Structure 1
Amino acid sequence: MLNVVVVDDEPLARKGMLYRLGDYKTLKVVAECGNGKEALEAIAKHQPELVFLDVEMPGMDGFAVLEQLQNQQLPMPYIIFVTAYDHYALAAFDVNAIDYVLKPVEAGRLKAAIDKALKAFESRDDQKHKSQLAEVVSRLTGDAAETILERLSNEEPVVDSRYPDAISIKDSGEITRVMVIDIDWVDAAGDYMCIHTRDGQTHILRKTMKELELELDPRLFVRVHRSAIVNVNTIVKLQMLPNGEHQLMLSNDQTVKVSRSYKDRVKQVFKGA
């Protein structure tokens, strides 16, 4: 029997995962966590063999949890990534020990991931485990697997944080620190950028669209127009208008026009598009 920790910041998602895992007699859930900090504490306390780890969480995401596990030299459990956004599933990959499942979780896909973890545990090999972890992180981040293995060997952070967690915006003698995960979308206004955040505020940034785009993680933000960037987590619908043009409907009920030159890039956000 494998001890399991379930990590997800959405209570309903955790409840759904716990319900599904109840069908597996070989798994014993020893803790459920709502954020990265709780996950680290639970892993240190219970030393589970398997963790279902949400990728997108405020404050400390799934990649940061992996980094802290390595930094704190905690036992590395097998990881099954869980994500609601299929842009993380850059390719279908076949590994024996760790995998990912896409929300909403499908029973067949979950079973396949669990079967891989059980099979790997039966013939557990630390170096093989590290290689498989490196392969998954490589596919999710774009970093070379060899680079990730080198970081593991040197006890360095697994994930290289190339993009800032926050953007500093100067205005009227004040500096406001805006968390990147709170940005819904961005549009250009002449030589300025209007940063629209989930709390309904708009911040004015003196920077070009190209400069800002380089600071935003392309896995989380997509350019939809020469004057607009959207957080993929806020996208609800891609709509075709009567005139043949497209627009995005965001979770805040805002609509953003999609230009023809960026249409294909936007469609990559939608599974099967």
Structure 2
Amino acid sequence: MLSAIIVEDEVLAAERLRVLLEECNVVLLNVFHHAQPALDWLSIHEADIVFADIGLPEINGLEFVERIKRGAKRQPEIIFTTAYEEHALRAFELAAADYLLKPIRMTRLQAALDRVGEKYREKADDFTHFTVFSRDLMIEIPWQQARYLLAEHKTVFLITGDGQRYELPKTLVSWEELLGDKVIRIHRNAIVFRHTLDCLIRLDEEEDESNAIWGAKVLDVPKPLPVSRRQLATLRKILKKQI
């Protein structure tokens, strides 16, 4: 699942893009109406995509991209938004992943997201193992031995099939991006490797199905892992395909 921020001084344009991104299942991390707060945020946070108005009033597109390159914690893909078609060439000169003409159409937005998503899938295909420290020794753990990643108190942990727990660098969102289709998010603080998913288990006895609490049974993990209501439909689709 891709993550993004919006940098757009037009409130209505930002809101329209927010709604479209929600429909595309993009995790919107923040919305900024000025460039500098966005740059400050990117210096300590990570996002896959920055949707930026190429005509921001206080800073031009070139300077904005250069400042991101110099100061971002991790380099995001840039997708410019503009009301003028003649800015398209300029956008690509700035090494943007794409540009979108306002008003933004869903089909055009999805095409841009697919292009960025493909880059992250290619990265996921190259990933072979985790490098972790155990008793002051560096060891390599093939990703196939992993069961899930859990975020607790701003730290991410890798849990393996034998129940071992290792601390990992980077954020849960970063690992989700890197691992791509190898994993699926089941909760705001947990992603599970798809090949380990077994089934969904009802965790309560409420009569009202709409308020039911569900867990995911994961290979070699004794207790079901909590599943958020937001992710329940996605998990059901995945498990149905595996049958």
Question: Which range, TM-score by smaller chain?
Answer: 0.3 to 0.5
TM-score normalised by structure 1 residue count: 0.41
TM-score normalised by structure 2 residue count: 0.46
